[in-house]
């Protein structure tokens, strides 16, 4: 059942992430025959809270508002990654999940769920920038760094910013059907479901070696991504045996030569899809994948979406 929804705020809340929850669950769309949620905003730290954008928000509800909710939403907030949380809020979240209430976090709101012990043994999502820190603070959590959201009922977690929309619409779709979710998405002018995961939005610059042993080889590899090369050929360029080269390469880049060049090829394909009108066959040739089918296969494996869908996302439908 999804009827009573409460968003719980802490000092430093991010307005956009709060707005996502308000937009999906806080508007009256009964004129279109859509459900109206009993929506409220509760504060865990007093009636007036600051936002990271420099203004304040106020609410008359305290933590008692959470006791009757079917869903508790936790928007992101400033310093949520490293702050201490009110014990009474942590207790309220634990009680909520014990009685079957769902909790949904947007971006760094997941750190509050971790502090409450709600991530133990569960898969969870967070903005890619916070994935390592979340795993470090809560080693019993199963952090999924490349997805937009994770539904580990009754805990739903989402990645950065707009991924909260994906998670909220997913829950609406799950509870009230695709027609309701699609209609809300249409009113919000957002896709009811996005292809792929957050991996396609991660900026991965060219890895720099920690010393000069393989540095020149890395530069050469990047300039010859369209060529097939072997470890033996690369080792010869570095004046090493293949075994020594492979070991040094792993030490300095954190990966193997094959995986490194594969990732650089995908990155080049991303740039070409974003900035050019070249065909898939032409991009496959320039990136060393050879065929459009091979390009598609590796693109999906790396980013969770197809080259055509990626081009639509970053350049619009007409470009694809």
User: Are 111 and 223 members of one domain?
Assistant: no
CATH number of the domain to which 308 belongs: 1.10.10.60
- Provide the pLDDT for residue 43: 96
Whether residues 223 and 109 share a domain: the answer is: no
pLDDT at position 303? 84
The alpha helices in 81-212, defined as continuous H runs, are 87-98, 110-115, 131-137, 163-176, 178-188
Is residue 207 within 8 A of residue 198, CB to CB? The reply is no
SS3 call for 6: strand
Whether 147 is covered by a domain: the verdict is yes
Residue 106, classed as helix, strand or coil, is: strand
Q: What integer pLDDT is reported at residue 274 of this predicted model?
A: 82
Q: How many domains are contained in the chain? A: 2
Verify that 102 and 251 share a domain, yes or no. Answer: no
pLDDT of residue 67: 96
Buried b (16+ CB within 10 A) or exposed e, 72-97: bbbbbbbebbeeebeeebbebbeebb
Distance CA 140, CA 121 (A): 6
**Residue 31: half-sphere exposure toward Cβ, Cα within 13 Å:** 3
φ/ψ (deg, to 5) at 302? -85, -40
Does 208 fall in a domain? Answer: no
Identify whether 167 is part of a domain: yes
Domain closes at, from 195, 229, 246: 195
| 162, 231: one domain | no
89 and 161 housed in the same domain: yes
Q: Which two three-digit tokens encode residue 71? A: 């869903």
Does a structural domain hold residue 201? Answer: no
The dihedral sign for the CA sequence 66, 46, 82, 129? positive
Q: According to the model, what pLDDT value does residue 317 have?
A: 58
Range of the domain at 279: 215-319
Burial of 22 (0-12, 13-18, 19+ CB in 10 A): middle
| Cβ 75 vs Cβ 7: under 8 Å | yes
In order along its 320 residues, the chain shows pLDDT tens digits of 899 999 999 999 999 999 999 999 999 999 999 999 999 999 999 999 999 999 999 999 999 999 999 999 999 998 899 999 999 999 999 999 999 999 999 999 999 999 999 999 999 999 989 999 999 999 999 999 888 999 999 999 999 888 999 999 999 989 998 889 989 998 998 877 776 666 656 655 444 444 568 888 988 998 999 999 999 999 999 999 999 999 998 888 878 999 999 989 998 998 898 888 999 999 999 999 999 999 999 999 888 889 998 888 776 555 55
* pLDDT given for residue 208 in this prediction: 47
CATH code of the domain containing 161? 3.40.50.880
Give the pLDDT confidence score for residue 172 in this predicted structure.
95
* Count of alpha carbons within 13 angstroms of residue 227, beta-carbon side: 10
Determine the length of the chain: 320
The per-residue pLDDT for 209 is: 43
Q: Which residues contact 141 (CB under 8 A, 6 or more apart)?
A: 114, 119, 120, 121, 122, 124, 134, 135
Q: What global pTM score does this model have? A: 0.68
User: Is 190 in the same domain as 231?
Assistant: no
């Amino acid at each position: 059942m999804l009827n009573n929804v409460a968003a719980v705020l802490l000092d430093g809340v991010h307005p956009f992430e709060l707005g996502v929850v308000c937009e999906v669950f806080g508007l009256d769309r009964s004129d279109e025959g859509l459900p109206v949620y009993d929506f409220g905003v509760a504060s865990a730290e007093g009636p007036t809270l600051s936002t990271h954008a420099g203004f304040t928000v106020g609410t008359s509800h305290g933590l008692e508002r959470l006791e009757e909710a079917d869903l508790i939403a936790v928007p992101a907030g400033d310093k949520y990654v490293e702050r201490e949380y009110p014990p009474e809020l942590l207790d309220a979240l634990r009680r909520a999940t014990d009685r079957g209430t769902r909790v949904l976090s947007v971006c760094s709101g997941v750190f509050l769920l971790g502090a409450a012990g709600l991530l133990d043994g569960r898969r969870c999502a967070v903005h890619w920038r916070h994935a390592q820190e979340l795993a470090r603070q809560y080693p019993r959590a199963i952090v999924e760094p490349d997805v937009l959201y994770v539904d580990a009922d009754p805990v739903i977690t989402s990645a950065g910013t707009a991924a909260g929309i994906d998670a909220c619409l997913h829950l609406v779709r799950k509870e009230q059907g695709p027609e309701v979710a699609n209609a809300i998405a249409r009113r919000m002018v957002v896709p009811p479901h996005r292809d792929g995961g957050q991996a396609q939005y991660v900026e991965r610059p060219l890895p720099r070696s920690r010393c000069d042993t393989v540095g020149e080889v890395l530069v050469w590899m990047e300039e010859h991504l369209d060529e097939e090369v072997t470890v033996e050929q690369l080792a010869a360029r570095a004046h090493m045996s293949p075994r020594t080269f492979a070991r040094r390469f792993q030490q300095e880049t954190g990966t193997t030569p094959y995986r490194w060049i594969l990732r650089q090829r995908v990155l080049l394909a991303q740039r070409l899809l974003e900035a050019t009108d070249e065909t898939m066959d032409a991009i496959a040739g320039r990136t060393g994948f050879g065929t459009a089918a091979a390009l598609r296969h590796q693109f999906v494996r790396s980013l969770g979406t197809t080259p055509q869908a990626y081009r639509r996302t970053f350049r619009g439908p007409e470009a694809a």
